[in-house]
Structure 1
């Protein structure tokens, strides 16, 4: 494991200070976590970014690939048939590819959310025949999901090259 030097530590970015509206607070925290997650993966070295840091096989690149799939399923109605497979980025996918795919998915998800004025309304979905959660539920779920995996990513990135902070 590398020795951490003071200059290797990144500063920690505090949570956002948003307005008082519920939608603004929820979206502010989700965007904060999304940016933290993308930054944690960006610049991580190959092949360590794919190396399992724990016995379950969890790896840094796979976490971001998984979150892109969750965002796509939740906000864009994309079908996922094998959730476990979403934790493994393809061998042809480099770090920059997965980060860019995640950011594009987030951008498309935000476009959907921009059209949702009522947090209690069902989330617009492209998958007919399946009940849609409320926009509020989807935002809270994505905050929880992204925050949980961002914590995993913090540990995995520190194991790879000692980088810390958001």
Structure 2
């Protein structure tokens, strides 16, 4: 069993009072938490299944990259199961960088969403987006769920705990 290490817990964000500020702050908090769980995890354990389903740290972050792209950028995903596998040639740094770049692009889209009830803009008008509110809540739920999985997997990999 790996020797436990503790990174320390980062408390939830304290934000302004608007709904958009609160939702975006919590999403960014969760995004940073899961990226930190993957960043620096050793090879090959970062891509080794920690549970019988095959779930691994790198696959979780790869999946969340696709979820961000689909939700905020309107990109199609032909095979959701395949999103849970990082390409063999991708290093942890590659997957983390791709995720962070996608988050940056998603935040640029969100910067243009003044009304949370309005649809997230899409590059193709024939595929309307969900409301910005729905998209934010969905990504908070999805990222939070997978950040919890990543907490457990990272502890199994090298004993690291904390957010």
Equivalent position of 1:165 in the other structure:
162
Query: How far apart are the structure 1 equivalents of 2:95 and 2:124?
Result: 25
Query: How far apart are the structure 1 equivalents of 2:92 and 2:85?
Result: 12
Q: Is the 8 A contact 2:66 2:83 kept in 1?
A: yes
Q: Which runs of 5+ in 2 are unaligned?
A: none
Q: Is the 8 A contact 1:78 1:127 kept in 2?
A: no
Q: Does 1:115 align with 2:91?
A: no
Q: Is the 8 A contact 1:119 1:134 kept in 2?
A: yes
Q: Does 1:150 align with 2:147?
A: yes
Q: Is the 8 A contact 1:65 1:87 kept in 2?
A: yes
Query: How far apart are the structure 2 equivalents of 1:140 and 1:127?
Result: 23
Query: How far apart are the structure 1 equivalents of 2:26 and 2:148?
Result: 15
How much does 1:3 deviate?
3.1
Cα deviations by residue, 1:47-101 (Å, 9 ceiling, x for unpaired): 0001101111000000000000000010011111000000000001000000000
Q: Which runs of 5+ in 1 are unaligned?
A: none
Would you identify which runs of 4 or more consecutive aligned residues in structure 1 move more than 2 Å? 126-131
Pick aligned residue for 2:122 from 125, 132, 147: 125
In the superposition, the TM-score normalised over structure 2's length comes to 0.98
Q: CA RMSD in A?
A: 0.8
In the superposition, the TM-score normalised over structure 1's length comes to 0.96
